[in-house]
Amino acid sequence: MLRFVDVRGYGTDGRFSYYNTVTGKYLELDGDQIWDSMQEVEESHTSDRSGAGLEYPLDRLQTITPQWAFIQSTEEEMQEAIYRFYGVGAVVGQRP
């Protein structure tokens, strides 16, 4: 079974991922495991050569994805998530 995972606020470069509860691994499409928007998932899905895209059709991913993931995040939202994870004064791209 594939599950949608919200990773906002965990210090990642994206907002969500998909977790396969059978294999115990995160879905990887074209080398990506974390995405910021459904558009990025579609791009990874289209260019994937591993075969994962065949096992997990795009329409299946879309049905388990909440509506907010179809909207590209703003820089402000990403900065806010970094602040929550690293604390006030954190800067995008820098670790504490």
Exposed, middle or buried: residue 95 (CB in 10 Å: 0-12, 13-18, 19+)?
Answer: exposed
Say what the pLDDT of residue 65 is.
94
Q: What is the pTM of this model?
A: 0.74
Residue 84 binned pLDDT confidence (cut-offs 50, 70, 90):
low
- Decide if 96 is inside a domain: no
The more confident residue out of 12 and 2 is: 2
- Decide if 45 is inside a domain: yes
- Decide if 94 is inside a domain: no
What's the full length of the chain, in residues? 96
CA distance 47 to 12: 22
Task: List the domain range (segments joined by +) for residue 15.
Answer: 2-86
- Decide if 23 is inside a domain: yes
pLDDT tens for residues 15-70? Answer: 899 999 999 999 999 999 999 999 999 999 999 988 888 888 999 999 999 998 88
Say what the pLDDT of residue 50 is.
85
Domains held by the chain: number = 1
